[in-house]
Structure 1
Amino acid sequence: MSDLVPVFDGHNDFLLRLLRDPEARATTWLTNTEQGQLDLPRMKAGGFAGGFFAVYIPSPKAHNDPDFERLMRNPPYNLPLPPEIPFEQALPVAMAMVGHLHWMEREGHLAICRSTADIKAAMAAGKIAAILHMEGAEAIGPDLDALHVWHAAGLRSLGPVWSRPTAFGHGVPFAFPSSPDTGDGLTEAGKRLVKECNALKVMIDLSHLNEKGFNDVAALSDAPLIATHSNVHAICPSSRNLTDRQLAMIRESDGMVGLNYAVGFLREDGVAEPFDGFDPMLRHLDHLIEALGEDRVGLGSDFDGAQIPPDLGDVAGLPRLIDAMRAHGYDAPLIEKLAHRNWFAALDRVWG
């Protein structure tokens, strides 16, 4: 196994695990319980230096919900989206999740970072460098006042939607095969949100946004276009993946894409089932590098939010992914770019 290469990651859902069992948060964070895909010991073992920690508001469960996992194992599928979650309902959930992240910082092994200088300082101190990210802006009202409160709490990255609709726009459903052109673009509130994020230097994440919303952000934003955890539609025609036209727009903006490890967004057949080895991941990386250039591609795992390849397993398996890149012919400078340097450069371009 290779020496550890520091990995800075575009997306994880660890805070959602803490939300589901807050009484066990110290155990969940500080010990390897062999549950989920992330914890501090396994991060250290895998070279995970930091990344985007998502605040995501889970949809309420209904007794008549379909078996989404079974449907995603048997394409074609087009999963119904949950309804919009009201601001008043989302706000206390988001507050709890941000509270968990601030507790992790107070506990001493993690730092909430507001600049690339903060990220590098945290890494030098042996701490996990965390960016506070919102995956879906339900906890921000159309008046945008809460955006400024969250910014003061450390928010530096925001996706206007998870796949369900918000006051700001429309996400893509989980569908295969499907184009990302699945609905309307940004609302007027969404357009104001883009402008206010630009003014605050909050990064806008396009990963769950539909094609018309993507186009609206591209037309309105003065920042590089970033998709923190998305893959290649030309390889796996899922609605969640980016078309070559979208990739060309990201390249033109000097933006960035982080590779998503979810098996259903990697496999050509769209089946959400495990596969052996790393070839599908490398195929997507090859295409992203060809489309974007080697300076605009990184990693965006979706740890604790997705089924990932079993040969990777969890965050402690990152050295096996790095070894697979090396065996595939990627040299050391390219691996360092993919693992962390490209994220630092992209954040510098967004944050200034």
Structure 2
Amino acid sequence: MRPLLFARIKNLVQGASVSKRILPLMFEAQYPIFDGHNDTLLRLIEDEGKGKAPDFLGECDGYHIDMTKAKKGGLAGGLFAMFTPNPENSINGIPRKPTMGDPIDRERAEQFTYAMMDKGDALIAASGGSVRLCKSAADIREAMDAGAMAMVYHIEGAEVIDPDFEALDTLYERGLRSIGITWSRNNVFGNGVPFTFPGSPDHGEGLSDKGIELVRQCNKRGLVIDLSHLNEKGFWDVARTTDKPLVASHSNVHTLSPTPRNLTENQLDAIAESGGLVGLNFAVGFLRDDGDHARKDTKLETMIGHLDYLLEMLGEDGVALGSDFDGATVPAEIEDASGLPLLVAEMEAAGYGEELIAKITHRNWINLLERTWGA
């Protein structure tokens, strides 16, 4: 493990010119948060399928994200994932047993993906302007300036994409702007990593020929290619093929938590060289050095340890947040989106300056999306 040099980084950012962005009155927190990953749309459609009536525009009991919690915590937008669960899996992201799920068919992926997209569209229509679908960086900035939730559609696992890539155009027209090639299971495009611990991301073969072509098709349309959940050989195939910055929306540091879901130093070096970004995952199992997914008592200082390391490896423009809200167990001190200011306070206590906090909480994501989307 290379020695941490974050004290030097903090000295560089402290005293820098500060351009603080104050949220509109709709939000109660000082800093707007643009988050790289949540699974809230899946939870909504799953609960509705069970006859429940969760009120995202008001308050959803037991959810990490709803508009009440977002307003309190300053969650101003993010990438809303559309993930298709295996039939035997729980509705959230962690399988009941530490193995990869079996591959799923495209029909099931279509069912879930379009149901989640329909749900997002319905929320936007019913929100009276308080939730906005964003297809460009300008859309995100305008939504945040208006105090509205900026919703960006993301697919986690490309099973919905057909071999001729016609679905990409349909989904793009409806607002898709980011896609993860795999979840932690294999598909026709590539291989995901298991949830075993400890373990290496070097698990399985690289991208298929169709996977390489998917990268090119995403580049052609300006779609973000998300490397979280992809195995290491697939990571390097993307790095060799793409002409866009490398992005891992919700991953942490393998050196600090040796799960296959986290990134090695070589991977972090490649992301830095590409001008890319990593979003800190709040899932306790990807933060802890023992990989325990049940330990809600995980301290916020553990999250700061990962942020320090990412800042050393990627620089202050390459680090952001990717909570995995509504898809993972997060530290009890945060609990849900309303607790995001506690993480910000921990950054301040660790010596992060206002400019750096603004970059981590929202600016780095928006700038990365602008560079990738071209608008």
Pairing 1:57-136 to 2, within 5 Å after superposition:
57-61=84-88, 79-108=98-127, 109-136=130-157
In the alignment, is residue 302 of structure 1 matched against residue 324 of structure 2? yes
Please give the residue correspondences for 1:228-239 in structure 2 after superposition, counting only pairs within 5 Å: 228-239=249-260
Paired amino acid for 1:320: L
**Residues 1:237 and 1:30: Cα distance change in structure 2 (over 3 Å):** same
For 1:230 and 1:328, how far apart are their aligned partners in 2?
A: 21
Q: Following TM superposition, by how much is the alpha carbon of 1:61 offset from its aligned partner in structure 2, in angstroms?
A: 1.4
From the superposition, tell whether residues 276 and 146 of structure 1 become closer, same or farther in structure 2 (CA, over 3 Å). closer
Q: Size of the alignment, in residue pairs?
A: 340
Aligned in 2, Cα 1:332/1:351: closer, same or farther, shift over 3 Å?
same
Give the distance between the partners of 1:45 and 1:3, measured in 2 at CA. 6
Equivalent-residue separation in structure 2 for 1:61 and 1:324 (angstroms): 38
For residues 274 and 95 of structure 1, what CA distance do their matches in structure 2 show? 33
Is 1:211 paired with 2:232? yes
Aligned residue in 2 for 1:317: 339
Structure 2 counterpart of 1:28: 55
2:290 corresponds to 1:256: no
Provide, for residues 31-57 of structure 1, a one-character-per-residue CA deviation record: whole Å limited to 9, x for no partner.
Answer: 223312111110011000000000000
Aligned to 1:75: none
- CA deviation map 1:292-343 (0-9, x unaligned): 0011100000000000000011000001110011011101110000000111
Aligned-pair identity in percent equals 48
1:57 and 1:116 map into 2 onto residues whose CA distance is: 27
| Unaligned 5+ runs, structure 2 | 1-27
Which residue, out of 300, 304, 308, partners 1:278? 300
> Aligned-pair distance for 1:92?
1.7
Residues 231-253 of structure 1, C-alpha deviations (whole Å, 9 max, x = no match): 00010100000000000000000
CA distances 1:217-264 after superposition (whole Å, capped 9, x unpaired):
000000000000000001010000000000000000000000000000
Query: Is this contact kept in 1: 2:288–2:298, CA < 8 A?
Result: no
Cα distance in structure 1, aligned partners of 2:83 and 2:89: 18
Equivalent position amino acid for 1:100 in 2: K
Q: Which residues of 2 match residues 131-170 of structure 1 at below 5 A?
A: 131-170=152-191
One-letter amino acid of the counterpart of residue 348, structure 1: E
Q: Which residue of 2 aligns with 1:74?
A: none
Q: Is 2:35–2:322's contact at 8 Å kept on the other side of the alignment? A: yes
Secondary structure of the 2:152 match is strand
Supply the distance in 2 between the matched residues of 1:68 and 1:333 (Cα, whole angstroms). Answer: 38
3-state SS of 1:29 partner: coil
Aligned-partner Cα distance in 2 for 1:323–1:4: 10
Give 1:344's match in structure 2, choosing from 366, 372, 375: 366
Change (3 A) 1:3 1:45: closer
CA RMSD in angstroms comes to 1.7
Moved over 3 A (4+): 23-27
Q: How many angstroms apart in 1 are the aligned matches of 2:60 and 2:362? A: 27
Query: Match of 1:4?
Result: 30
- Cα gap change, 1:68/1:55 in structure 2, threshold over 3 Å: closer, same or farther? closer
Q: Which residue of 2 aligns with 1:16?
A: 42
Distance in 2 of aligned mates of 1:36 and 1:343: 24
Any idea what the Cα deviations from partners look like across 1:65-93, whole Å, max 9, x if unmatched?
xx955x6xxxxxxx221111111221122
| CA 275–30 in structure 1, closer or farther in 2 if over 3 Å, else same | same
Aligned to 2:217, the other structure's residue is in SS state helix
Structure 1 portions without partners, runs of 5+: 72-78
